[in-house]
Structure 1
Amino acid sequence: MKKALLILICVSMLSACSKGEEDLYSYTFSKNSKVTSESFEGSYMRHGKVVRGANLVFEYVFVKDDVENIADDEYSEFIYFEIDPSLDEFNYVDEELNTINTVFTQSCFCAFFEEEKNVAPTGSISGKKISETQWDITIDVIFYGDEARNINNRFQLKD
């Protein structure tokens, strides 16, 4: 009986340590928008923001599951870019990524001071319109010289 009680207590403790949450991914786009970005002195990280404008803005969001008992472990990342709303299909490569205001932002308790990482993104972003509310988007880009992201998903119109 003591052995069974001890096992039950151990299992209860292990399950109490697990939040049961999962990482969050979001793939959306907005009409009548544009991307703005800023960086802060001494940091290579650009911080993107979606504001009112005339384009379609695509937004990928990743939010890492937070471990409740660990301080400052929060992490999220965002990729933004914009295209002309008249397009039904597109493919932008390397230097062209700057023309669509491609921005990768990490949000965490991290330092972004390495000046050599202050470089333009390389790779490609392509997409095909499925309907007025859906696009198939492929992002295969290296940001800041070594932050590779490969995303292939359907983006939904944001409410």
Structure 2
Amino acid sequence: MTSFFADIYLWVKALHVMAVISWMAGLFYLPRLFVYHAEQVAIGEPTDKLFQTMEMKLLRLIMNPSMIVTWIAGLILVLTPGIVDWTSIWPWTKALSVLGMTWFHMWLSVRRKAFEAGQNNLAGRRYRMMNEVPTLLMIVIVLSVILKF
């Protein structure tokens, strides 16, 4: 099995990078949609339904599948012999950051359901601030993987 992982390593790595890019695009865009939804749309307006549809499709059709592929490919990479030095700090900082990114994804999913139920109680400012979370986590992940500190 370990030889198999080594044989497919570059393909899995490429898939992982593509999935991460797709996931990050959604993590950046969905909170921005929430900002406009919270600030400019009243419950029950036709635009409310339009935003709900855009948010739902972004989450279900792009973000969820790309998060799943990111995780599966990432775990395969971790299981590939000789790739990760677990005595270093970087795999742990990356792992914690990926868990944080996953938590943020789940938080966005809960917030989408609040909009759908007409129960959003957060202001656009809060979504603007939360929009910085994936950026900060991405910085930690990239520095961890590239610099291997």
Quick check: TM above 0.5?
Answer: no
Larger Rg: 1
Structure of greater relative contact order (alpha carbons < 8 Å, 6+ residues apart): 2
The structure carrying a bigger strand percent of its residues is 1
Q: What's the TM-score, normalizing by structure 2? A: 0.26
The structure carrying a bigger helix percent of its residues is 2
